Amino acid sequence: MTNSNRLQLTWISYFSYALTGALVIVTGMVMGNIAEYFNLPVSSMSNTFTFLNAGILISIFLNAWLMEIIPLKTQLRFGFVLMLLAVAGLMLGHSIALFSVSMFVLGLVSGITMSIGTFLITHIYEGRSRGARLLFTDSFFSMAGMIFPMLAAWMLARTVEWYWVYASIGIVYVAIFALTFGCDFPVLGKKAVETSQPVAKEKWGIGVLFLAIAALCYILGQLGFISWVPEYAKGLGLSLNDAGELVSNFWMSYMIGMWAFSFILRFFDLQRILTVLAGLATVLMYFFINGNPEHMAWFILTLGFFSSAIYTSIITLGSQQTRVASPKLVNFILTCGTVGTMLTFIVTGPIVASHGTKAALMTANGLYAVVFIMCLVLGFVSRHRQNATATAVH
């Protein structure tokens, strides 16, 4: 593979994460305007965004098999057509049913591109550079999550219709579509056999189960925590602005942490540093919840920094459990994490209703502790070291 081809595939991966980050995080900015557009209460409108998450989950799950049937380039180009149809549906449709269908299609497109982007990074890069590169790729999710809400606020303040926000997000996919030209993609499935590319058929091992549990618990814990931090902070007497600042500080330090660890991870064994980071994150979250409220800002800053590398390290370790990165394995870990996203309010909502926001935060803390235990136990069964050695020998 030429350097220019590798660079194109890498940028496709970057933009795939940016697309998902923009679609998911911009929701809170436009929800009120969309509710007003359809003359519905915001509480009812929020439920329709479940179609976006459902589309992401379904496409990531199914693409583990579709990647071996439909060429990656074909999927990305077909996704461009779906993106155009979805945005057109948002702009031209005036029914909540068409809006829901369009959001579901956007979710499908997002999930397909994100699963392909993740696989490309795990396929192109080896060893410790894989984890560092995947972490840098994930930073584009946070970067888009910072840029597009600001863009949405600017547009909405100037009475631009909300659907133009989604049209602007579509520009990210235009970049992905353009990069598919003059670019060769990895060949998977039966066609890989025909072109004499080796296809690894290995048992995943028990370590993959530990990583799957860790991925689900981490995303569920993270989103369950950050979703209820504002309400918890207001209950302690903080103003709405101060509560919002806590969340902003978390994501800011999270992105800085991604950039820092994309360099740091190259010098450490991934399983060991992942265990240390999961343990630190668990302790920091505990002190945020139970410590002095005056120190909450510092605890959430350090929590964001040290937890930033956990999820991508889990995915990277999963890809290293076989000698050749398996798309099914990578998508399985991604699917488990996405299930955590879907469960966020299903799990935490009843806890808040019965026991308050602190109980929801403590539940999230418990989930982080499970992540630490899974990472610790993984050290006894992980195959990433022997597979790295085998790859180096060959």
Read off the pLDDT of residues 296-310 as tens digits, 9 standing for 90 and up: 999 999 999 999 999
Predicted pLDDT at 364: 96
201 assigned to some structural domain: no
End-of-domain residue from the set 194, 214, 243: 194
Range of the structural domain that residue 109 is part of: 3-194
Same domain for 101 and 136, yes or no, is yes
Instruction: Please indicate, yes or no, if residue 79 is contained in any of the structural domains.
Output: yes
Whether residues 289 and 385 fall in one domain: yes
- pLDDT at residue 393 in the model: 45
d(CA 5, CA 10): 9
Identify the pLDDT of residue 247. 79
- pLDDT the model gives residue 394: 45
Write down the H helix ranges in the chain.
3-25, 27-37, 42-48, 50-66, 72-92, 96-124, 127-157, 163-179, 190-194, 206-235, 240-264, 270-290, 296-307, 310-319, 327-355, 357-378, 384-393
Distance CA 200, CA 326 (A): 8
Report yes or no on 353 lying in a domain. Answer: yes
- Whose tokens are 């007497």? That residue is 237
Q: What is the pLDDT of residues 137-154, one digit of tens each?
A: 888 887 887 788 788 888
CA atoms in the 13 A half-sphere facing the CB of 123 = 26
Report how far residue 372's alpha carbon sits from residue 114's, in angstroms, rounded to the nearest whole number.
26
Domain count across the chain: 2
Q: Cα dist. 376→82, 143, 280 in Å? A: 42, 31, 13
pLDDT score, position 209:
93
Is residue 287 one of the residues assigned to a domain? yes
Q: With CA atoms as reference, report the closest residue to 331 among 176, 72, 106, 117.
A: 117
Distance CA 394, CA 161 (A): 57
Nearest Cα residue to 275 out of 372, 380, 368, 131? 372
Q: Cα dihedral angle (55, 61, 67, 68), rounded to 10 degrees? A: -150
Same domain, yes or no: 266 and 312: yes
Check whether residue 86 and residue 225 sit in a common domain: no
Q: Which of 194, 219, 241 is the last residue of a domain?
A: 194
**Torsion sign over Cα 332, 338, 342, 347:** positive
Inter-axis angle of helices 127-157 and 27-37, to 10 degrees?
40
Q: Per the domain annotation, does 141 fall within a domain? A: yes
Residue 166 φ/ψ, nearest 5 degrees:
-70, -30
Q: Please indicate, yes or no, whether residues 182 and 247 belong to a single structural domain of this protein.
A: no
User: Is 213 inside any structural domain?
Assistant: yes
Query: 129 in the Ramachandran plot: left (φ > 0), alpha (ψ -120 to 50) or beta?
Result: alpha
Q: Are residues 225 and 169 in the same domain?
A: no
Identify the burial level of 213 via C-beta atoms within 10 angstroms of its C-beta, where 0-12 means exposed, 13-18 middle and 19 or more buried.
middle
pLDDT at res. 243: 79
Contacts of 356 (CB under 8 A, 6+ apart): 235
Q: Are 340 and 219 in contact (CB under 8 A)?
A: yes
User: Residues in the chain with pLDDT < 50?
Assistant: 193, 391-394
pLDDT reported for residue 88: 95
Residues 266 and 352 in one domain: yes
Does residue 245 sit in the same domain as residue 175? Answer: no
Q: Considering the domain boundaries, does residue 200 fall inside one?
A: no
Residue 263 has a pLDDT of: 86
Between CA 367 and CA 361 the distance in angstroms is: 10
Residues 356 and 284 in one domain: yes
Q: How far apart are CA 94 and CA 288, in angstroms?
A: 45
Show Cβ contacts of residue 88 under 8 Å, excluding neighbours closer than 6 positions: none
In a domain, 221, yes or no: yes
Contact yes or no for 271/379 (Cβ under 8 A): yes
Torsion angle, alpha carbons of 238, 242, 245, 247, to 10 = 20
Pick left, alpha or beta for residue 172 (phi over 0 → left; psi -120 to 50 → alpha; otherwise beta): alpha
Say which CATH number the domain at 288 has: 1.20.1250.20
Q: Are residues 158 and 259 in the same domain?
A: no
Same domain as 164, residue 17: yes
Q: Are residues 155 and 189 in the same domain?
A: yes
Please say which residue of 170, 194, 218 terminates a domain.
194
